[in-house]
Amino acid sequence: MGAGPLVLLPELAPAAGAVLGLLLGSWLPRGRQWVVRLVGVAACLAGVGATLASLDGVAHRAFEGSYAVDTATQAGRLIVLGGTLLVLLLSGDTVRSHPRETEFYALVLLGGAGTVVLAGTTDLLLLVAGYLLASVPLYALAGFSADAPGTEASLKYYLLGALLGITMIAGVTMLYGAGRSTEYAALARSLPAAPSALVAVGGVTVLAGLLFKIGAVPAHFWVPDVAEGASAPVAAFVTTVPKIGGLIATFRLAEGVLPAETASWPLLFAVLATASMTLGNLAALFQDEVRRLLAYSTISQVGYLLLAVVVAASSELAEPALLFYLLAYAVTNLGAFAVVAGFPHARRLAEYRGLARRRPTAAAVLVVCLLGLVGTPPTAVFLGKLEVFSAAVDGGYAWLAVVAVVNTVISLFYYLRWLVPVLAPAAAEDEPCPAGRWAAFVAVFAALLSLLVGGGGGVLLPLLDGPLLP
């Protein structure tokens, strides 16, 4: 089932865009570097177009079987490239005429390309490659502004990422030793017979890297620091896009590779999911800083997303649920971050006081996105939650669905804590600085998309239901 390199156009497009952009950027004068952004946008659009053109429902393989182009990969490509596109647009206000503007776009594109690779890989070595490609550009992005908080964030991000990356490589070695292969299909056959202690340790250490990538407990420490220290577009990117590839990769491992004989993997994921949503929510409860609040909210969202991973092998509803939730989450989270990026000087909840009066559109976007993150119908995340809850109950994890429901109620607290000042009457003196145009555009677009995806779930869900290639 091998196919030509054309199958990988959606992966090649952002990478090529990054290279082309870098070359172009070194010739362009500083005032014209927005052309590079145009190149990046074009690369993302080309990738999306190539994906749409290849949506024939036939699963392909590439790289000698180490890369699968199936429904999950296709969905991952669309969500990642779409998300990258939104971040590129969103960054227009912040990095415009920055001395290193070109580098910013190139790094974002490379991070996007790495994330897509993570989503499609069916080989442990490619998984490591994808991990590195999706991590290294982000370390640089976190410290892009080169100020004290950015540097600290970047350092923390890098140290944790490097540590868990090495752990992951060690895990890959162990699994290779146990299963005599790095290909998922071969591992699925050989691992059940391998020494179970080795497989268990290897599996857990490989997962450690992926947990870092998706920002799940216990590898979540970087999330709030990066979200607070880096610039808003970077925060939007790192809390949204890598999760897409990371969760799909985790799902592939849970669905077909990690053998049930070794350990109760679903139970492990269930514990991780519970810990992520609970700790994320509890930590977010009393945050006063909007980006930290959103960061903890993304940790809790990963918990809900992991519900689908828990029942990856036991429920047929799990895969479409995960993919749909990822799409819904990406759109909604980017919308919320776009509002934050639009008001870069309003860092605390209190500074959003009276937003509904002064900027009704931005306030409406916040209401849609925050209630969307709660899972209020008819937004997209509601349908995503409905799907993952259904999958969890269907897969025999009803208690986990109850835990998720209780957590959803807790999460209401802090989302409403933000909405209360937004809707409160404004104090006369504090006029916030004007909102960025690009950020405003992306915010409105994302909010509308969130409602549209929620209402049009009927069209999307069947498309997301295709078998995973082993």
- Chain positions contacting other proteins, by CB under 8 A: 320, 371, 376-378, 382-383, 386-387, 389-390, 393-394, 398, 401-402, 405-406, 408-409, 412-413, 416, 420, 423, 457-458, 461-462, 465
Query: Residue 402 — φ and ψ, nearest 5°?
Result: -65, -45
Nearer to other proteins, 230 or 464 (CB): 464
Nearer to other proteins, 213 or 353 (CB): 353
Element containing residue 61 per DSSP (H, E): strand 60-62
The 3-state DSSP class for residue 50 equals helix
Answer whether 160's CB lies under 8 Å from 445's CB.
no
- DSSP structure class, residue 287: -
Q: Could you give the CA distance from residue 378 to residue 453 in angstroms, rounded to a whole number?
A: 9
CB of 466 to other proteins, least distance (A): 12
Task: Kindly state the smallest distance separating residue 318's Cβ from other proteins, in Å.
Answer: 13
Annotate 137-152 with b (16+ C-beta within 10 A) or e (fewer).
bbbbbbbbbeeeebeb
Kind plus residue range of the DSSP H or E element containing 47: helix 34-53
Shorter beta-carbon distance to other proteins: residue 119 or 317:
317
Tokens coding 106: 């190139």
Query: Which is nearer to other proteins, 81 or 371 (by Cβ)?
Result: 371
Q: Which of 135, 129, 308 is nearest to 219 (CA)?
A: 135
Cα angle, residue 68 at apex, residues 110 and 58 outer, rounded to 5°:
120
Nearest to 114 by CA among 242, 206, 239, 233: 242
CB of 433 to other proteins, least distance (A): 24
Residue number, 81 or 388, with CB nearest to other proteins: 388
Q: Which residues are paired to 132 by β-bridges?
A: none
Nearer to other proteins among residue 282 and residue 423 (C-beta): 423
What torsion do the CA atoms of 244, 246, 252, 254 make, to the nearest 10 degrees?
Answer: -120
* Minimum separation from the CB atom of position 323 to other proteins (A): 12
Minimum distance from residue 397 beta carbon to other proteins (Å): 12
Phi and psi for 289 in degrees, rounded to 5? -90, 125
- Specify the residue, 135 or 379, whose C-beta has the smaller distance to other proteins: 379
Minimum distance, C-beta of residue 378 to other proteins, in the bound complex (Å): 6
Work out how close the CB of 317 gets to other proteins at its nearest, in angstroms, rounded to a whole number.
9
